[in-house]
Structure 1
């Protein structure tokens, strides 16, 4: 490889380390890990929490609890969107 190619690879590795350190460490150790774009655990927890709040609000007729559950579920659904990064950058379908 040429010196230019080596510099590009070093820059790419540094950017990957800065963007997603957990993925970069796992890649360097030879143990695959999901990149940040595919980790959605927090979104699923938010969706479950919102569903519980919504159910409790319906069971105990309480409008504020229903509204809070709907808001939390809406936020969680936005986090589960697979094309979120592309839409954030201004690209559309």
Structure 2
């Protein structure tokens, strides 16, 4: 392999290490995990929190809680979207 090809691979490895260190450590150990783009645990917790706030707002007849719950549910649903091509900003939704 020419030197330029080796340099490209080293650059790619370094960039991946900076972006998602958990993924690269898992690949080195031979036990791969999902890349950061496909981890949705935080989105599910946000969705559960939003539904809880929305339910409390409905039960207490509080408009501000209802509005806050709807906003949280909307944000979490956007993060839980299974189509990563719809993400317009790479840094959006990082944990």
TM-score band by shorter chain is 0.7 to 0.9
Q: Does 1:76 align with 2:76?
A: yes
Q: 1:3 maps to what in 2?
A: 3
Q: How far 1:25 moved relative to its partner?
A: 0.7
TM-score (norm 1): 0.86
Q: Does 1:23 align with 2:20?
A: no
Q: 1:46 maps to what in 2?
A: 46
Give distance in 2, aligned partners of 1:8 and 1:63.
55
Q: Higher relative CO (CA 8 A, sep ≥ 6), structure 1 or 2?
A: 2
Report Cα offsets for 1:30-80 as digits up to 9, x if no partner. 111100000011111000100011111111111111111001111111212
Q: How far 1:84 moved relative to its partner?
A: 3.5
Give distance in 1, aligned partners of 2:61 and 2:33.
44
**Count of aligned residue pairs for this structure pair:** 88
Q: How far 1:88 moved relative to its partner?
A: 3.2
Give distance in 2, aligned partners of 1:84 and 1:33.
22
> Could you list the runs of 5+ residues in structure 2 that have no partner in the other structure?
91-95
Give distance in 2, aligned partners of 1:7 and 1:16.
14
Over 3 Å off, 4+ runs: none
